[in-house]
Amino acid sequence: MTERIERELWLPATPEAVWEAVTGDGWLADRVNLDLRPGGDAHFVTSGRIRSGWVEDVSAPDRLSFWWAVDQEPASRVELRIEEHQDSTRLRIVETRPLEVLDLVGVPLPGPGGVTYGPALVAA
Partner 1 sequence: MEDRASAVFGALSDPTRRALLAAIAEHPATTATELAAQLPISRQAVLKHLNALTNAGLLDRTRSGREVRYKFTPAPLSEAVDWMTAVGAEWDERLALLRRQLGGAAATRRASAWPTRSRGGAAGTPIQRGGIPK
Contact residues for partner 1, defined by CB under 8 A: 1-3, 5-13, 17-18, 21-22, 26-28, 76, 85-89, 91-93, 95, 97-102, 104
Tell the burial category of 85 from Cβ atoms under 10 Å away from its Cβ (0-12, 13-18, 19+).
Answer: exposed
Q: Which is nearer to partner 1, 38 or 63 (CB)?
A: 63
Q: Least CB distance from residue 1 to partner 1, whole Å? A: 4
Q: What's the rounded Cα separation, in Å, for the pair 124 and 120?
A: 6
Q: Which is nearer to partner 1, 21 or 37 (CB)?
A: 21
Q: Least CB distance from residue 17 to partner 1, whole Å? A: 6
Count of residues in the chain: 124
Cis, bond preceding 61 (omega within 30 deg of 0): yes
Q: Least CB distance from residue 50 to partner 1, whole Å? A: 15
Q: What's the rounded Cα separation, in Å, for the pair 32 and 72?
A: 20
Please, which residues have CB within 8 angstroms of residue 123's CB and are 6 or more apart in sequence? none
Q: Least CB distance from residue 122 to partner 1, whole Å? A: 24
Q: Which is nearer to partner 1, 17 or 112 (CB)?
A: 17
